Structure 1
Amino acid sequence: MALKKSSNINHPRKSSNVHVTKSGKKIKLNTSLTDKVKARRDEKALRKAERLSKLPKGRFKRILYRLHPKQLKEYWFSREGRLMALKIVGIGIVSVFVLMIGVFAYFRKDLPNLRDISGSNIGGSIRYFDKTGETLLWEDYDAVKRIPVKSEDIAEYLKQATIALEDRDFFKHGGFDMKGISRAAWANVTGGSTSQGGSTITQQLVKLSQDWSADRSYTRKVKELILAIELERSYTKDEIITGYLNAAPYGNIQYGAEVAAQDYFHKSAKDLTLAESVFLASIPQSPSFYSPYGAYFNEENSRGETGNEALVGRMHYTLNIMHEMGYITEDEKEEAKAVDVLATVHKTESKYHNIKAPHFVLAAKEELEKKYSAETVNRSGWKVTTTLDLNLQTIAEEEVASGIKQVEKQGGNVAAFTAEDVETGQIVAMVGGPDFTNTEFGENNYARTPLPPGSSFKPYDYTALIESTENTGAGSVLYDTQGVLPGYPCTNKSIPKNGGNCLYDYDLRYPGPITIRYALGGSRNVPAVKAMLIAGVEKTIDTAESLMNASNPNSYGYNCYAPDTVEFVTANEAACYGSSSIGDGAYLKMDEHVHGLATLSRNGLNIPRTYILSIKDATDKTTYEWKLEGGTQVVREDTAYIINDILSDPNASYLATKPHTMPGNGGAWKVAVKTGTTNDSKDGWMTGYTSKYAAAVWVGYYNRTKEMSGYMETMTRPIFQNWMKRAHQDLAPKDWEKPAGIQTLSAYIVRNSISSGSRVPSPDKDLFPSWYSKTNSSNQKRTIDIISGKLATECTPALAKKEETGGTATQYSSDTFVDGTSSSTTNEQDDLHKCSDARPSVTVNRSLGLANSYTLSATVLPGTHALNGNEDKGAGKVEFIVNGEVVGSHTLTGQGLYSINYTPTTSGNLSFTARVIDSAMYDATSNSLTISVIALKYNGNGKFSWTGASGSVSVYPASGGTPICSNSSCSVANPSFTGGSVYARDNSNASPVISASD
């Protein structure tokens, strides 16, 4: 049976994606995206297979085959080659972009944020002003002299000249110039140098502001480029050019246009002319060569030009560019070229040229450096307003200049002065030496040099004693007697230079028990050392330092050194002993000492001492502003007030001339005063304070190698007293505020003479702190002889008697070095006066002086006792008395004639007598004389009348000479005296008169 043939046999299945054209060509169509992708992959694989079939086997052999010159062109111009080239370029672009981002990120992470383009980190001149902020004291510069200014304070010519010379496309680029970079890169490649130019002004500002001038590496250039781009995005073009002109180098140490203008032309940058602007713009590329202040200005460069010649050529070139850019006209260009700018350049001046109050300013700088570090200060460009009061500073300088003459007479050559405003802690005046320009020691600031304070330290001794003990006040007793004390074995009572080892007083007198008031006022050494030892040496020094500088951790303090120490550094310090209580072997600084006294004046409140009121940066932004702080109570108010009261008591002071009051506006100021003299007479001090100002004077030889002669007060008092007087004369007086708890209690009475200046007896009541609770008073009344300090007798003269209530020294004693069995001599009777003593005598006379004056005279003779004083008795005196009123007196130096000039203030018969009081307080009164005083009256028409004369008179002109008229009824026919003063005398020449005028 024959099989039926299938219709599908030998007929392949027709694909659904194949299309046959009329010509019979088959076209394969993709019916889906997947098919399309697959088809392309297959086609690519087929082409690759065909290409590889023509190439050697192995990857490396194929690379070598393609590098063959015959194959290069064929491949790279084929479709596959072109695609490969596109891939390589794309990958390269992406790679470079990623690389640039990486490089930017790598370098940017270590770069600063350019928030300030003033160039402050390269330094700038610090300007110091007085307290008003108006008077410039000094422009300070160390390695950099620079004063940043605002855009409007810089001449447009200077901006234009700089742009023309440094960066013509400044207003076109975004921080860098590709043409300049390319040109520099090509030069560097061909020349092998990385110093070829190409930097824009923006890039130069970055370099200056980051202090990269010495770094010429490629990495620095990358960093510079990054910051330049950021700078352009953050600031305007005007801000950038201003920043550059404030930072550009214009000479040796001159940075910035303002300093350059001031130094070269003595004018501000805003006032520069075109020629001057071009001159300055030509310098920054090479200041050492182009600047007249530069080190190589007079040397030749590689082209054989000196700096002078090259500078002129560069200026002319700059003017040509400015003309091309349209900044100036042809006429302006030629006029500027004709100007000899170099002839107008000023010479450089000393760093301290025109400095005012130099020692004060340098002390203020020292305070700044301690607060901010020297590096910060030197790079700041700040405007510093100080605490200096120019009026008070001028007074200080005048008084030091006047007083130095006396210092030189006594063997010294230096005087220093410091004053502080008590209310604020501000140093208002400082003179560190008499002549800042002295080449040997003028710049030494003795107000900031460690110096031994001598007895001026003693207020701190007694402050510590009262503060640290329970029952010590101004009326308490310490014994001023020689004896064994720690550090003083006292086996030989000779003076130290003769081998003595006792503590001794300056006058070699030891009056026994004395009060704290008279011990401090009399500047006694023995009680002062005892005060420190009782309170404790460390406690006393801690108290002193807390008063002087508790608020200032950078202070010097009070330090002891071995004898003959020259360098006052920590390595040379020695332990302090009792001798430091009198400034022996110990040192402090004057301004800190003054602050310690000011703290006492504030009743123990320590506020920070300062030289600085405010600091402003170059943009006038306030960096620091002083504010009065509450302070720290370092000693109790009672203690400080008692010390203030003692030091301002003229009766307790040993000084013969008393600077304890100063005239003020509407009254008198009380002044607390303490002097100081070192044992070797190399230092003299006078310190003191009111409730307004504290001040100190020191005198000596510049290196402390010479002793001075005479009394230190002769040198120090005029400077101190005159400054205090002038500083307070227009101020209303204000006393220290008395604490509520201060007690006024009975006190030991000092009757022995302490010194020629102190007045005894001391008061029977005195000040004690609120915590004082000791019962020490006695209600027993006694009549005391104030001369001997003993009980008065019937022979004691009335003037020497005083009724008092008081107890013994033992009852008031705070002296732990004396046992409780000691007593005063108040139970002994006066043995100085005898009932048989003869009194002194006095007779008087009077004679006519010129016009309406008398010369009143008294002849004084002694009785039993001397008229003048001695160690135990004060000097006597003679008083001139008219109508019962004392009109003049003299302290007696011995027997003889004493006289005064007296001008009557009333007419008629006046009674004139004299009284003499000798050193033992015996007195006597003279005979009486009558003074007839005429009252003259002018009646007009040349006629005079008078009262107080019995006979005829003569009328004289005020200047004396020939009488105007002379008779019983004095008249003048043609008066020639009209408008002048006249006087009359009776013709017996016995009476002066009161002047009269027509």
Structure 2
Amino acid sequence: MKNSHKALTVICTTALLAAGAALWLVPFPGELLSYDNLTSTRLVDRHGRPLREALGATEGRARAVGLDAISPHMVAATVHAEDRRFWSHAGVDPLAVGRAAWQNVTNVEIVSGASTITQQVAKMVAGGSRARTLPNKLEEMVLAVRLDKQETKRSILEQYLNRAPYGNQLFGVAAAASMYFDKPPSQLTLAESALLAGIPRAPSLNNPYADFERAKRVQRRVLALMHERGVIDDAAYRRALDEELTVVGRRGRVMAAHFTDHLLSERGPLSRLGKLGRPQRIETTLDLDLQHKVRGIVGQELSRLEKKNVGQAAVVVLDTKTAEVLAWVGSRDYFDAEGDGANDGVLARRQPGSALKPFVYGLYLESGGTAADMLPDFPAQFPAADGVYIPENYDRSYHGPVSVRDALASSLNIPAVHVTHRLGAEAVHQKLLALGLDTLDADADHYGLGLALGNGEVRLLDLAAAYAALGRLGHPKPVQLTDQEPRTKNQEPKKRLLSAQTSYLLLDILSDDRARSRGFGRYSALHLPYKVAAKTGTSAGFRDNWAVGVTPDYTVAVWAGNFDATPMLGSSGVTGAAPIMRQVFQALYPDAASPADVDWYEAPKGVEERTVCALSGQKPGHLCPSTRLESFAGEASWAELADCEIHRTFAIDTRNGLLAGPDCPDAHVEEREFLDVPDDWTEWALERGHRLPPTQHSPLCGDDPGDAARAADLRITHPMPGDTFVLDPSLPRSEQQVALRVEVPASRRDDTLTWFVDGEAVATVDAPFRAFWKLAPGEHAVGVGRGRVEASVTVRVE
């Protein structure tokens, strides 16, 4: 039986050799020799320090190099370790084949392959690891003959040295020399070359990290072969044996994992790299030292915030001038699977809260507004597609009339919605898209006026880029990840996103600690020893909070929250994200202790500082009790400002304190000072005890318009007709009330009014005529008037 097996094997072998011989004239497929997708790519920081190595098609590290870039010792050691007759045979070594055939026939199985270097190259490029069967072996032999016929010996040897497995996910001698000896392949010594040449035959067994002594034994056998064959003399042989080899420890830890993940995904497949797989090195803009500092800050601050259920944070630091990414921390710990650490907060789409307000006000300033304009911070309702929109401030209080400067710096919600209402949600939406916040990809009607308060979703990276554009006084630039990208530091684009004057005013407002005191108090986490234009944001339900800061040098953007959108426990932007931002700036400016230590912006041409009335924001008159300085974008902006219309004098009939007409005797007329406020300021003014002008003319002057003015209509401003209120079963019924407010004409400011619900009086009030009603289920008529219902609305409580 055994003899019949031997005979059958010989017959099959002969038949297959004959069939293969007929194929040797077919050209070898040259495209298989391409290094495309073989070479791994090294990513380094801006100083050349390694961040990561992206594996090639072999799922290992590989760096293709030319044969001239490989030490002659390595070339010789490889040939004598693998294929001593490489330079003379035609792709297949007949002597080795004969020896192997005898061993295989004797053992009735493949026990020896007799593979030449050329055959191994053919096997690697034709399909890698395959079963050691006779048909496969014969196919490799045919391919090897065709390869030898088509390519030079040097080209084939180069292919082998760039593809051979050297263990530990290393393919090719360049990757092996770098990992094991931290040097290029051209600098390998004879001893090092012999050690590496012995690895490919059994990479896992001859692994220097796993069994260094075994690797040394194989090395000595390779050196002995070279000595016996006269490749090296006695002296070289002894020096190689005596050389003390030091294998460098394993390397390859991923630095800045989120950043490198994004970079590799953005660049797409790294497969079209040329004949020798270049570029093999990507120089990024990241600063590894800063990256480590920022990552440490994130971990430290999140430990402090754990009690507020803040589990994650992300930070991106840009060079303001160039838009280069200097640091990118996507989570607390990329490798924390339980905490979803591989999620990247720099790229996640989350609601930014108030962090969009500077751009809303930027559009307002470019539409003719000024930083001195006064905006109403009173209870307000706005029409919306699904009813009415009722914004509230973060602190659930109202601050009366506030300047644009204070409204933005203190991040007040109601004034921002008023501004958006004036501009139109569509115009605001288009401006945000132009700034690169393209994840706001629904139409403007989807967001409505809530767009100003961040009810859309943006990415931290895009938000940082928009603020960096503000820091370049309106110039847009794409975020830079690598040094291979075109530098734009000195190439300003033609079109600004915002004018230099508007950008400067916004930066000035956002760095004004006094102006932000209404919302954050003085010396909050946003205040540093030097100027930083800073803005926070908190999304609805405390699911996200943000802080962004800008100087001429750096832009720092921070997000804090939880990847699963679990609400934080009362942590806002100023208490959650802002301390992280503050710590990062201190790392960026470790020696700065005063404003003079950090550069700030010079006012662009056309920006002028002027004095305005502190209350009206208009040109001050002699009656204005206090003034303040404000910056304006040019003389025209100041020239168009009206004289103060609030602090005024009126002619009063001294006999009754009413308005004196032109026919009043001079002896009874006196000019008196009053605060003449807009109608929607009246409630605020009366609450604060301001003296408002009378609304009736003195009948003693003969020009009294009669009782018609006193009959002027009342208008209920809250609730609105058709409003529906929903009782919360989790709260006490006594705490669920609705405010009742009415707009009263100036002629009736001295009235006493009564509020009615379903015809029954619930409150009698003087100016400012506000009351509260405890909600009760059902449909109700809410009215108000002087002793009777003069105005009413119908509401529903569910």
Secondary structure of 2:541's aligned partner: coil
Counterparts of 2:448 and 2:187 in 1: how far apart (Å)?
65
Structure 2 counterpart of 1:457 = 356
| Closer/same/farther in 2, CA of residues 736 and 520 from structure 1, 3 Å limit | same
| Closer/same/farther in 2, CA of residues 223 and 512 from structure 1, 3 Å limit | farther
Structure 1 counterpart of 2:161 = 245
Counterparts of 1:460 and 1:725 in 2: how far apart (Å)?
26
Secondary structure of 2:542's aligned partner: coil
**Could you give the per-residue CA deviations for residues 236-287 of structure 1, whole angstroms, max 9, x where no partner exists?**
84x7645532321123522122433555677775776766644532343454
Q: 2:456 aligned with 1:581, yes or no?
A: no
Q: Which has the higher contact order (CA 8 A, sep 6+)?
A: 2
Counterparts of 2:301 and 2:51 in 1: how far apart (Å)?
24
Q: 2:708 aligned with 1:708, yes or no?
A: no
**Could you give the per-residue CA deviations for residues 213-250 of structure 1, whole angstroms, max 9, x where no partner exists?**
66959888766655545542xxx84x764553232112
**Could you give the per-residue CA deviations for residues 148-187 of structure 1, whole angstroms, max 9, x where no partner exists?**
46768755544322101323233446x7457479869999
Counterparts of 1:424 and 1:601 in 2: how far apart (Å)?
11
Report the structure, 1 or 2, having the larger helix content. Answer: 2
Structure 2 counterpart of 1:507 = 395
**Could you give the per-residue CA deviations for residues 849-890 of structure 1, whole angstroms, max 9, x where no partner exists?**
xxxxxxxxxxxxxxxxxxxxxxxxxxxxxxxxxxxxxxxxxx
Match of 2:51 among 121, 124, 137: 137
1:434-473 to 2 correspondence within 5 Å?
434-441=332-339, 442-467=341-366, 469=367, 471-473=368-370
Q: 2:479 aligned with 1:609, yes or no?
A: yes
Q: 2:515 aligned with 1:645, yes or no?
A: no
Secondary structure of 2:520's aligned partner: coil
Secondary structure of 2:467's aligned partner: helix
Structure 2 counterpart of 1:857 = none
CA contact (8 A) 2:67 2:158 kept: yes
Counterparts of 2:224 and 2:345 in 1: how far apart (Å)?
58
CA contact (8 A) 1:201 1:244 kept: yes
Secondary structure of 2:465's aligned partner: helix
Counterparts of 1:809 and 1:484 in 2: how far apart (Å)?
20
Counterparts of 1:627 and 1:168 in 2: how far apart (Å)?
56
| Closer/same/farther in 2, CA of residues 347 and 736 from structure 1, 3 Å limit | closer
Counterparts of 2:627 and 2:173 in 1: how far apart (Å)?
70
| Closer/same/farther in 2, CA of residues 809 and 719 from structure 1, 3 Å limit | farther
CA contact (8 A) 2:36 2:271 kept: no
| Closer/same/farther in 2, CA of residues 107 and 152 from structure 1, 3 Å limit | closer
Aligned residues: 622
1:86-485 to 2 correspondence within 5 Å?
107=27, 111-112=30-31, 119=35, 121-124=37-40, 126-133=41-48, 135-141=49-55, 143-148=59-64, 156-172=72-88, 176=91, 179=94, 200-201=116-117, 204-205=120-121, 208=124, 228-232=148-152, 237=154, 241-251=157-167, 253-261=169-177, 277-285=193-201, 287=203, 318-328=222-232, 353=253, 355-356=254-255, 358-359=256-257, 362-373=258-269, 382-441=280-339, 442-467=341-366, 469=367, 471-485=368-382
Instruction: Name the amino acid aligned to 1:476.
Output: D
| Closer/same/farther in 2, CA of residues 279 and 363 from structure 1, 3 Å limit | same
Counterparts of 1:560 and 1:262 in 2: how far apart (Å)?
50
Match of 1:691 among 552, 555, 571: 552
Match of 2:495 among 619, 625, 633: 633
**Could you give the per-residue CA deviations for residues 602-642 of structure 1, whole angstroms, max 9, x where no partner exists?**
1221111112113xxxxxxxxx6645443363523143233
Counterparts of 2:145 and 2:557 in 1: how far apart (Å)?
59
Structure 1 counterpart of 2:628 = 763
CA contact (8 A) 2:475 2:496 kept: yes
Secondary structure of 1:531's aligned partner: helix
Counterparts of 2:51 and 2:355 in 1: how far apart (Å)?
32
Counterparts of 2:435 and 2:325 in 1: how far apart (Å)?
16
CA contact (8 A) 1:594 1:687 kept: yes
Q: 2:643 aligned with 1:778, yes or no?
A: yes
Counterparts of 2:551 and 2:558 in 1: how far apart (Å)?
15
Q: 2:406 aligned with 1:518, yes or no?
A: yes
Q: Which sections of structure 2, spanning at least 5 residues, go unmatched?
A: 1-20, 618-624, 650-672, 692-798
Counterparts of 1:415 and 1:276 in 2: how far apart (Å)?
46
Q: C-alpha displacement at 1:595, in angstroms?
A: 0.9
Q: C-alpha displacement at 1:722, in angstroms?
A: 3.4
Counterparts of 1:540 and 1:187 in 2: how far apart (Å)?
84
TM-score, with length taken from structure 1: 0.53
Q: C-alpha displacement at 1:777, in angstroms?
A: 0.8
CA contact (8 A) 2:632 2:638 kept: no
Structure 2 counterpart of 1:63 = none
Instruction: Name the amino acid aligned to 1:484.
Output: Q
**Could you give the per-residue CA deviations for residues 727-746 of structure 1, whole angstroms, max 9, x where no partner exists?**
24569644335443556677
| Closer/same/farther in 2, CA of residues 130 and 316 from structure 1, 3 Å limit | closer
Secondary structure of 1:388's aligned partner: coil
Q: C-alpha displacement at 1:383, in angstroms?
A: 1.3
CA contact (8 A) 2:613 2:644 kept: no
**Could you give the per-residue CA deviations for residues 807-854 of structure 1, whole angstroms, max 9, x where no partner exists?**
9886xxxxxxxxxx6567999898479xxxxxxxxxxxxxxxxxxxxx
Instruction: Name the amino acid aligned to 1:636.
Output: L
Instruction: Name the amino acid aligned to 1:631.
Output: P
Counterparts of 2:684 and 2:458 in 1: how far apart (Å)?
42
Secondary structure of 2:325's aligned partner: strand
CA contact (8 A) 1:412 1:702 kept: no
Counterparts of 1:345 and 1:182 in 2: how far apart (Å)?
36
Q: 2:499 aligned with 1:595, yes or no?
A: no
**Could you give the per-residue CA deviations for residues 69-108 of structure 1, whole angstroms, max 9, x where no partner exists?**
xxxxxxxxxxxxxxxxxxxxxxxxxxxxxx99x997x747
Structure 2 counterpart of 1:801 = none
CA contact (8 A) 1:676 1:684 kept: yes
Q: C-alpha displacement at 1:574, in angstroms?
A: 11
| Closer/same/farther in 2, CA of residues 186 and 632 from structure 1, 3 Å limit | farther
Match of 2:605 among 734, 737, 740: 740
Q: C-alpha displacement at 1:750, in angstroms?
A: 4.2
Structure 2 counterpart of 1:814 = none
Structure 1 counterpart of 2:431 = 543
CA RMSD of aligned residues (A): 5.1
Q: C-alpha displacement at 1:689, in angstroms?
A: 0.4
Counterparts of 2:238 and 2:585 in 1: how far apart (Å)?
64
Instruction: Name the amino acid aligned to 1:249.
Output: P
Q: C-alpha displacement at 1:122, in angstroms?
A: 1.7
Counterparts of 1:376 and 1:129 in 2: how far apart (Å)?
20
**Could you give the per-residue CA deviations for residues 87-145 of structure 1, whole angstroms, max 9, x where no partner exists?**
xxxxxxxxxxxx99x997x747x64497x7xx453232x22222122x22333436121
Q: Which sections of structure 1, spanning at least 5 residues, go unmatched?
A: 1-98, 298-306, 492-500, 550-555, 562-572, 615-623, 753-759, 785-804, 811-820, 834-998
CA contact (8 A) 1:673 1:687 kept: yes
Counterparts of 1:222 and 1:370 in 2: how far apart (Å)?
42
Percent identical residues: 25
CA contact (8 A) 1:474 1:516 kept: yes
| Closer/same/farther in 2, CA of residues 475 and 221 from structure 1, 3 Å limit | farther
Counterparts of 1:395 and 1:750 in 2: how far apart (Å)?
45
